[in-house]
């Protein structure tokens, strides 16, 4: 039996040690301060979900209407209208499937009936005061219609007009294609493909009073297999004639622009008042220009690592409507190197590039060079204006301008990000960024942009970038990582409501909603609130709560820039309290000679580093415990193997974060020698422990049995006998569960040890015996479980205190 048992112990133990080896006690600047699992998000009431319909999916097209308090969502065969207060309550839905005839045609054309031959809603734009414009793929036959939503919230209208229009040049045929659109002044600007084969890509303008207009067809210099990400209108000056439309997309690099196949991220510009050329470029854009967006980091070998796969763009407005800050999310094209980055661009830099040299080459075998010749007047890309230049409309442009525009759609210089580098780079993780929204938050010491970044694993990262010394030196602080979908799935849509202070998220499997801030999770002390460095939150004198710049309160404490609790909180509490000593857990743990013990200590913040100090007695000098063979420091605590009599003493667990040290735990370890334990264990051997365990504490009879050996033997047999139970993880999980059930039984044993001990030691202390220390094997199982729980993100300093047997 001994050897069987031994192998079980080994199995669970190996798992434990492997987990420890990775990442414990490394640099922590890149880890989120708090990490919340899906379950924790739900249980703490910080997540509301719409789980999707069985006959729908692809909840990808969002339209936020703060005034009416609704979120309209386009999905497969359906349009939804959600209540911004709670997406799981009183939502409306309109089924809009493709007709059976269209579905059949789609199937005959060789498309997948369930995945492609449905009506995937791709366009959802405000049309007028009462209606939205909505388009879908219509089973490879794009269709559009009008959706009545009423003028006021109380109208509560949600109705699709029966009249259906042709959706060509508005919605793609193929639901997989990345397209983008925006309706401005009754005209729809759409970057999409306009044919069944998905080859005729263009930027279209349709609807409205003008003739439809588009980019030059089948000219790879204009667009080369583009995937569109976003469309935005940005004014160029105070003169509305200069208003421009910007498109964000990625495409294959132009022929000769890059060795081999490469993707480039682009920004494209158009004049809103472009009506096309007169003799050439008829009903084609004459003001289209594009430039490359660079987002890269220098590599060690001198070659830059480029993030070229543009995923999403967010425009953060500033006081000047002409100069929003552009936040863009990128990933890498490489199959080997997985990484994501966020870069920021300024409109000044973008305009400078569009005013710079055009990319030019003399023929297919020539290099692309900056165009050196004479640029015709008015400069291509300039919007026609009655006030300036004397050209009312693009139809009046001289032929040479139109000819030049046609052959020079690309700029030579790329647009570099602000500070020439990304503000966030993530390369060492198993996820990639997909979406971004940014909120401007007013804090005590300034204004901060808080980024919410969606990933392809159904998680949201909350990041704030804080100037370290100047605007040119930003420190990004990853505040939280939260799982918002029940299974890993890419987040494909994101909207932020400042009015509701909520974030709305879309994916293939549903829609989720979460608050922008949850200040109470940071803890119950000023120092903890301060260390969190969340611009939404401040210490208000009694708790960590939402910060409002208007409400002036003297007790309010917040320090985003430095996160220094010493300056912020020291006058509020005396020093002990500040360093956490008032809430300090002071416990006694008993270990058995030659077995191992685990002193659990995990700071709430994943950014904190823990270290341990040892003190033989309260009067002795403290010394730091270094990891060595017998002492293993993990993120969850300290593992001491093969306990020695002289390991008895005081262990202090210290957390250091941002230069601020906090004592989290003080453990007095008593090592009991084996003989004394034997005495204790065999004193009252009798069965019926289970019956005793169910009785209230006071009429419990003294400890009865030591079920450990029998238990472990049974456990091992169940592992052997049940081939379905083939995972060691599952097995260890089971052992743990059973151990919990038996914990109360063990509590008797524990009590006994305590009584025994307290006869010698007349100290009045909250005495807790770590039940894990009795048997080496169970200690390991329990520790393994700690790690599991930790991975699930449960951040508790200790759980023993509440469950401990009442002290005698
Ligand atoms: C999908 O199912 C819902 C009921 O769950 C139903 O109301 C709706 O009409 C169905 N949609 C389609 C397109 O069949
Ligand atoms: C949202 O609505 C659901 C269903 O009515 C309810 O269970 C939940 O508590 C609500 N959540 C919030 C945050 O209001
Ligand atoms: C909005 O457009 C729809 C569709 O063309 C039309 O039926 C409706 O009357 C318009 N509403 C207003 C207020 O102009
Ligand atoms: C503890 O282990 C050591 C070395 O393996 C051994 O010499 C000693 O006898 C053990 N002590 C007890 C009480 O089992």
Task: Please indicate, yes or no, if residue 728 is contained in any of the structural domains.
Answer: yes
Name the residue of 41, 83, 88, 513 whose CB sits within 8 Å of the most ligand 2 atoms, as the mutation to test its pocket.
88
| CA 358 to centroid of ligand 2, rounded, Å | 56
Task: Report which ligand 3 atom has the smallest distance to the Cα of 148.
Answer: 3
- State the Cα–Cα distance between residues 381 and 401, nearest whole angstrom: 10
Residue 805 pLDDT greater than 60, yes or no: no
Position 389 scores a pLDDT of: 67
Mean pLDDT of 52-75: 96
Q: How many domains does the chain have?
A: 2
Ligand 4 center to residue 594 CA distance, Å?
6
Taking the centre of ligand 1 as the mean of its atom positions, its distance from the CA of residue 96, in whole angstroms, is 9
Judge whether residue 420 has pLDDT over 50: yes
In a domain, residue 21? The reply is: yes
DSSP label of 503: E
The alpha carbon of 600 and the centre of ligand 4 are apart by a number of angstroms equal to 25
Nearest-atom index, ligand 1, CA of 97? 13
77 close to ligand 1 (CB < 6 Angstrom): yes
Please report which confidence band the pLDDT of residue 763 belongs to, taking 50, 70 and 90 as the band edges: very low
Q: How far is the CA of 79 from the centre of ligand 1 (A)?
A: 11
Cβ atoms of residues 539 and 568 within 8 Å: yes
CA angle 403, 407, 408 (to 5 degrees): 110
The DSSP string of 738-799 is HHHHHHHHHHHHHHHHHHHHHHH------B---GGGSSHHHHHHHHHHHHHHHHTT---S-S
Q: Is residue 59 part of a domain?
A: no
Binding site membership of 133 for ligand 3 (Cβ less than 6 Å): no
Instruction: Compute, in angstroms, the gap from residue 157 CA to the centroid of ligand 1.
Output: 19
Which ligand is located closest to the Cα atom of residue 130?
A: 3
663 pLDDT band (50/70/90 cuts)?
confident
* DSSP strands (E only) in 281-372: 289-293, 296-297, 305-306, 309-316, 325-331, 340-346, 359-360, 369-370
Q: Is 89 in the pocket of ligand 2 (CB under 6 A)?
A: yes
Distance, CA of 19 to CA of 13 (rounded, Å) = 10
Give me ligand 4 centre to Cα 122, in Å. 72
Centre of ligand 2 to C-alpha 65, Å, is 20
The mean per-residue pLDDT over the stretch 779-796 comes to 39
Here the tokens at position 443 are 């804090």
Q: Is the CB of 88 under 6 A from ligand 2?
A: yes
Residue nearest to atom 5 of ligand 2 (CA): 89
Residues 203-222, mean pLDDT to the nearest whole number? 93
Q: Using a 6 Å cutoff on CB, does residue 157 contact ligand 3?
A: no
Neighbours of 741 (CB within 10 A): 10
Cα–Cα dist 606/791, whole Å: 11
User: Which of 539, 557, 578 is the endpoint of a domain?
Assistant: 578
What atom in ligand 2 is closest to the CA of residue 85? 14
Q: How far is the CA of 457 from the centre of ligand 2 (A)?
A: 25
Report residue 600 as tokens: 């659990």
What CATH number is associated with residue 566?
3.30.1680.10
Contact 585, 653 (CB under 8 A): no
- CA 584 – ligand 2 centroid, Å: 36
Answer yes or no: is pLDDT of 798 > 50: no
Ligand nearest to the CA of 144: 3
Do residues 538 and 528 touch, judged by C-beta distance below 8 A? no
Q: Is the CB of 37 under 6 A from ligand 4?
A: no
Task: Decide which of 543, 578, 613 is a domain's last residue.
Answer: 578
**27 pLDDT above the threshold of 50:** no
For residue 98, which ligand has an atom nearest its CA?
1
Closest approach atom of ligand 4 to CA 675: 13
- Contact of 170 with 135, CB cutoff 8 Å: yes
What count of other Cβ atoms lies within 10 Å of the Cβ of residue 569?
22
388 within a domain of the structure (yes/no):
no
Q: Which of 517, 550, 578 is the last residue of a domain?
A: 578
CA-closest residue to ligand 1 atom 7 = 95
Closest ligand 3 atom to 146 CA: 4
pLDDT at 739 over 60: no
Model confidence pLDDT, tens digit, residues 640-655: 888 888 889 999 888 8
Ligand 1 lined by 97 (C-beta under 6 Å): yes
Distance of CA 352 from the midpoint of ligand 1 (Å): 52
Q: Is position 20 within any domain?
A: yes
- 105 C-alpha to center of ligand 1: Å? 22
Q: Is the pLDDT of residue 90 over 90?
A: no
Each residue of 331-386: pLDDT tens digit? 998 877 789 999 999 999 999 999 999 999 988 888 899 999 999 989 999 999 88
Given the CA of residue 96, which atom of ligand 1 is nearest to it? 13
C-alpha separations of 288 from 44, 201, 653, 715 in Å: 50, 15, 63, 72
Determine which of 230-234, 263-267, 362-366, 397-401 has the lowest per-residue pLDDT on average: 362-366
Q: 175 C-alpha vs ligand 3 centroid, how far in Å?
A: 28
Residue 484 clears pLDDT 60, i.e. is over it: yes
More confident of the two residues 291 and 561: 291
- What per-residue confidence (pLDDT) applies to 674? 72
- Global pTM? 0.74
CA of 505 to the centre of ligand 2 (A): 17
Mean pLDDT of 213-234: 94
48 lines ligand 2 (CB under 6 A): yes
Stretch 57-79: mean pLDDT: 96
d(CA 515, CA 126): 26
Residue pLDDT, tens place only, 275-290: 999 998 999 999 999 9
> Which-ligand-closest: CA of 133?
3
The answer to whether the Cα torsion of 329, 473, 495, 431 is positive or negative is positive
Q: Does the C-beta of 593 come closer than 6 Å to ligand 4?
A: yes
The pLDDT confidence band at residue 256, using thresholds 50, 70 and 90, is confident
For residue 56, the ligand 1 atom closest to its alpha carbon is: 1
In percent, how much of the chain has pLDDT > 70? 74
Place of tokens 């600047």: 29
613 CA distance to ligand 2 centroid (A)?
A: 46
* pLDDT at site 11: 31
Is residue 594 in contact with ligand 4, taking CB distance under 6 Å? yes
The lowest-confidence range among 2-11, 166-175, 614-623 is: 2-11
The DSSP symbol for 476 reads E
What is the overall mean pLDDT for the chain? 79
Q: What is the pLDDT of residues 429-442, one digit of tens each?
A: 899 999 999 999 98
Which range is least confidently modeled, 62-76, 347-361, 533-547, 551-565? 551-565
788-801 b/e (C-beta count within 10 Å ≥ 16 → b): bbbeebbbebbebe
Instruction: Pick 635 or 749 by higher pLDDT.
Output: 635
From the CA of 519, how far away is ligand 2's center (Å)? 20
pLDDT score of 203 more than 90: yes
- Mean of the pLDDT values across residues 299-320? 91
Please give the distance, rounded to the nearest whole angstrom, from the Cα atom of residue 117 to the centre of ligand 3.
30
Which tokens hold the place of 37?
Answer: 């699992």
Q: Is 555 in the pocket of ligand 1 (CB under 6 A)?
A: no
Q: Is residue 608 part of a domain?
A: no
In the chain, % of residues over pLDDT 90: 48
Give the pLDDT of residue 575: 40
Hey, how many other C-beta atoms are within 10 angstroms of the C-beta on 576? 12
Nearest CA to ligand 4 atom 1: 594
Containing domain of residue 741, as a range?
A: 2-28+674-801
Instruction: Express each pLDDT in 447-475 by its tens digit.
Output: 889 999 999 999 999 999 887 766 667 78
Shortest-distance atom of ligand 4 to CA 594: 1
Q: Residue 283 — left, alpha, or beta (φ > 0 → left; ψ -120 to 50 → alpha)?
A: left
Is residue 376 in contact with ligand 1, taking CB distance under 6 Å? no
Token pair for 330: 């990128």
Nearest ligand to the C-alpha atom of residue 128: 3
**Residue 364 covered by a domain:** no
> Do residues 574 and 687 share a domain?
no
Tell me what pLDDT residue 682 has.
57
Q: Which of 51, 89, 516 to mutate to test the pocket of ligand 2 (most atoms within 8 A of CB)?
A: 89
For 143-176, the pLDDT digits (tens) are: 999 999 999 888 889 999 999 999 999 999 999 9
Distance (angstroms) between ligand 3 centre and the Cα of 231 equals 24
Ligand located closest to 513 CA: 2
For residue 96, give the ligand nearest its CA.
1
Answer yes or no: is 7 within a domain: yes
* Same domain membership, residue 792 and residue 682: yes
Would you say residue 239 has pLDDT above 60? yes
Query: Which atom of ligand 4 is found nearest the CA of 673?
Result: 13
Among 123, 138, 109, smallest CA distance to 62 is for 123
Q: Residue 797 pLDDT more than 80?
A: no
Nearest to 360 by CA among 251, 216, 257, 247: 257
Same domain, 681 and 793: yes
Predicted confidence band at 28 (pLDDT cuts at 50, 70, 90)? low
User: Which residues have C-beta within 8 Å of that of residue 608, sequence separation ≥ 6?
Assistant: 28, 655, 656, 657, 662
Mutate to test the pocket of ligand 3, among 125, 127, 128 (most ligand atoms within 8 A of CB): 128
The answer to whether the peptide bond before residue 233 is cis (omega within 30 degrees of 0) is no
Kindly give the distance from the C-alpha atom of residue 643 to the centroid of ligand 4, in angstroms, as a whole number.
10
Give the lowest-confidence range in 598-607, 748-757, 763-772. 763-772
Reading the block at residue 769, the tokens are: 């015996």
pLDDT digits (tens, 9 = 90+) for 678-698: 665 555 444 444 333 333 433
> Which ligand 2 atom minimizes the distance to the CA of 86?
1
């Amino acid at each position: 039996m001994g050897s069987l048992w031994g192998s079980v112990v080994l199995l669970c133990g190996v798992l434990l040690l492997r987990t420890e080896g990775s990442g414990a006690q490394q640099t922590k600047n890149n880890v989120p301060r708090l990490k919340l699992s899906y379950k924790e998000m739900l249980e703490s009431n910080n997540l509301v979900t719409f789980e999707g319909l069985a006959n729908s999916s692809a909840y990808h097209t969002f339209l936020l209407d703060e005034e009416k308090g609704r979120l309209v969502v386009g999905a497969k065969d359906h349009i939804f209208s959600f209540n911004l207060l709670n997406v799981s309550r009183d939502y409306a839905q309109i089924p809009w499937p493709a007709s059976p005839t269209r579905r059949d045609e789609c199937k005959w054309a060789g498309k997948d009936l369930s995945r492609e031959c449905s009506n995937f809603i791709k366009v959802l734009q405000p049309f007028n005061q009462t209606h939205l414009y909505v388009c879908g793929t219509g089973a490879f036959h794009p269709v559009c219609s009008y959706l009545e939503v009423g003028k006021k919230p109380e109208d509560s209208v949600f109705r699709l007009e029966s009249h259906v229009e042709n959706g060509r040049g508005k919605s793609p045929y193929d639901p997989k294609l990345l397209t983008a659109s925006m309706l401005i002044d009754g005209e729809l600007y759409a970057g999409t493909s306009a044919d069944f084969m998905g080859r005729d890509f263009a930027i279209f303008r349709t609807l409205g009073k003008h003739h439809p207009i588009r980019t030059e067809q089948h000219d790879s210099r204009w667009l080369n297999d583009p995937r569109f990400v976003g469309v935005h209108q940005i004014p160029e000056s105070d003169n509305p004639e200069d208003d421009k439309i910007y498109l964000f997309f990625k495409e294959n690099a132009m022929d000769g622009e890059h060795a081999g196949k490469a993707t480039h991220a682009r920004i494209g510009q158009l004049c809103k008042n472009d009506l096309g050329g007169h003799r050439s470029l008829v009903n084609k854009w004459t003001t289209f220009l594009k430039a490359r967006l660079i987002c890269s980091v220098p590599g060690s070998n001198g070659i830059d690592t480029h993030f070229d796969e543009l995923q999403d763009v967010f425009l953060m407005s500033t006081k000047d409507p002409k100069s929003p800050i552009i936040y863009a999310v990128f990933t890498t094209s490489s199959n080997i190197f997985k990484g994501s980055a966020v870069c920021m661009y300024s409109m000044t830099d973008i305009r400078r590039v569009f005013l710079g040299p055009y990319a030019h080459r003399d023929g297919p075998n020539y290099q692309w060079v900056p165009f050196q010749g004479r640029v015709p007047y008015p400069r291509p890309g300039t919007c026609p204006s009655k006030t300036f230049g004397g050209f009312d409309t693009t139809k009046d442009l001289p032929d040479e301008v139109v000819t030049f525009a046609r052959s020079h759609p690309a700029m030579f210089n790329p647009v570099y990000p602000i500070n020439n580098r990304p503000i966030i780079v993530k390369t060492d993780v198993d996820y990639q960024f997909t979406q971004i929204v940014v909120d401007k938050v007013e804090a005590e010491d300034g204004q901060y942009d808080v980024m919410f970044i969606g990933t392809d694993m159904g998680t949201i990262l909350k990041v704030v970038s804080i100037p370290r010394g100047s605007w040119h030196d930003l420190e990004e602080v990853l505040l939280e990582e939260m799982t918002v979908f029940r299974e890993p799935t890419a987040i494909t849509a994101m909207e932020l409501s400042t009015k509701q202070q909520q974030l709305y998220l879309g994916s293939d499997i549903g829609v989720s909603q979460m608050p922008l801030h949850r200040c109470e999770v940071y803890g119950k002390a000023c120092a903890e609130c301060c260390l969190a460095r969340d611009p939404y939150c401040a210490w208000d004198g009694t708790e960590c709560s939402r910060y409002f710049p208007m409400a002036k309160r003297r007790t309010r404490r917040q320090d985003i820039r430095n996160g220094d609790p010493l300056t912020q909180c020291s006058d509020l509490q005396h020093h002990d309290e500040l360093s956490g000593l008032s809430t300090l857990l002071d416990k006694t743990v008993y270990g058995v000679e030659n077995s191992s013990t685990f002193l659990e200590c995990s700071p709430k913040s994943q950014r904190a580093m823990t270290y341990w100090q040892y003190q033989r007695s309260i009067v002795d000098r403290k010394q730091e415990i270094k990891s060595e063979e017998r002492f293993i420091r993990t993120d969850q605590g300290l593992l001491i193997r093969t306990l020695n009599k002289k390991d008895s003493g005081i262990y202090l667990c210290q957390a250091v974060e941002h230069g601020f040290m906090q004592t989290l735990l003080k453990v007095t370890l008593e090592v009991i020698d084996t003989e004394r334990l034997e005495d204790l264990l065999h004193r009252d051997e009798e069965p019926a422990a289970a019956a005793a365990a169910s009785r209230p504490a006071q009429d419990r009879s003294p400890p009865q049995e030591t079920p450990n050996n029998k238990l472990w033997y049974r456990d091992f047999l169940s592992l052997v006998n049940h081939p379905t139970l083939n995972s060691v993880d599952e097995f260890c999980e089971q052992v743990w569960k059973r151990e919990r059930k038996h914990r109360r039984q063990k509590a008797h044993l524990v009590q006994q040890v305590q009584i025994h001990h307290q006869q010698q030691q007349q100290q009045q202390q909250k005495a807790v015996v770590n039940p894990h220390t009795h048997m080496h094997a169970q200690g390991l199982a329990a520790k393994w479980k700690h790690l599991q729980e930790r991975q699930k993100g449960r951040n508790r300093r200790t759980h023993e205190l509440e469950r401990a047997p009442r002290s005698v």
